[in-house]
């Protein structure tokens, strides 16, 4: 067993995964029979796994997901939802993020839009992408405050660096000129560079009318819809009224 001083030196080097692996090996008769090369390989693998786990934990904490427990593995694949298993599987792989494509999820209240968005965002973090979840109303409020205190450009730059922004509950309330302009600025920084996921009760085909400014609507939708996947969730009853829809928001269970 290594001395505590050596373990402290490893901790100082931030090799915590290796420290735990060494401690486990010190209590394992099977490990003692391994060659030096085999033991070293196990130590390195443990350190890599430790760092990966810590990184995912940091990404998930920073994501601030509304439904933190949502995950792809818990999706209910009932055909009535309108979910395409092949599309979801492809999205889980993360290529849409690597290619800076957007995702638009629409459906009635209680159909599971927020849950599915959080599940895909959770998977993105597990794949190593930086994520932020925010409701549309709070995002626009935050950006208006940023205009007032002079931090708007800095905040836009911060948002532009995120691999994925989830904007939940888009188009719940009328949008004024300041919000339209801020949305265009946000999307302009991300187009072709980063991905945006939007959920809305309003069908995508109605967004142009909702934006209520033909010129800005054309510019916004060109940046948002052109390179996007679309999911339209269907349900005959709000999943919040069912046992499975309670804590999950609708799509968990199967």
Per 3-state DSSP, the chain is made up of helix, strand and coil in percentages (nearest 5) of: 60, 10, 30
Q: Which residues of the chain have pLDDT under 70?
A: 1-3, 17, 26-27, 29, 31-33, 50, 78-80, 236-254
Q: What's the pLDDT at 240?
A: 54
Q: Three-state SS across 11-67?
A: HHCCCHHHHHHHHHHHCCHHHHCCCHHHHHHHHHHHHHHHHHHHHHHHHHHHHCCCC
CATH number for region 64-245: 3.40.50.300
pLDDT tens, position by position, 172-203: 999 999 999 999 999 999 999 999 999 999 99
- The number of residues in the chain equals 254
Q: What's the pLDDT at 1?
A: 52
Q: What's the pLDDT at 234?
A: 85
Q: What's the pLDDT at 247?
A: 42
Which tokens is 210 given? 């909702």
Q: What's the pLDDT at 102?
A: 98
DSSP 196: E
* 117 touches 197 (CB < 8 A): yes
Q: What's the pLDDT at 250?
A: 56
**26/178 Cα distance (integer angstroms):** 63
Domain ranges for the chain: 4-60, 64-245
Alpha-carbon Rg for the chain, nearest whole angstrom, is: 23
Q: What's the pLDDT at 236?
A: 54
Q: Which of 242, 240, 16 minimizes the C-alpha distance to 110? A: 240
């Amino acid at each position: 067993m290594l001395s505590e001083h050596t373990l402290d030196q490893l901790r100082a080097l931030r090799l915590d995964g290796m420290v735990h692996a060494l401690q486990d090996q010190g209590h394992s008769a099977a490990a003692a029979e391994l060659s030096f090369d085999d033991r070293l390989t196990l130590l390195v693998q443990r350190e890599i796994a430790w760092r990966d786990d810590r990184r995912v934990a940091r990404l998930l904490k920073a994501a601030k997901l509304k439904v933190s427990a949502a995950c792809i593995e818990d999706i209910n694949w009932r055909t009535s939802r309108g979910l395409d298993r092949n599309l979801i599987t492809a999205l889980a792989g993360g290529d849409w993020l690597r290619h800076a494509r957007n995702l638009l999820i629409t459906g009635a209240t209680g159909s599971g839009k927020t849950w599915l968005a959080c599940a895909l965002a959770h998977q993105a973090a597990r794949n190593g992408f930086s994520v932020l979840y925010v409701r549309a109303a709070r995002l626009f409020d935050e950006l208006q405050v940023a205009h007032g205190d002079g931090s708007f450009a800095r905040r836009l730059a911060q948002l532009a660096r995120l691999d994925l922004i989830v904007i939940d509950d888009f188009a719940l309330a009328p949008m004024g000129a300041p919000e339209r302009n801020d949305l265009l600025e946000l999307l302009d920084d991300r187009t072709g560079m980063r991905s945006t996921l939007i959920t809305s009760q309003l069908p995508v085909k109605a967004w142009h009318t909702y934006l209520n400014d033909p010129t800005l609507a054309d510019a916004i939708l060109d940046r948002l819809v052109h390179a996007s996947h679309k999911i339209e969730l269907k349900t005959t009853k709000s999943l919040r009224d069912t046992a499975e829809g309670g804590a999950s928001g609708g799509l968990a269970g199967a």
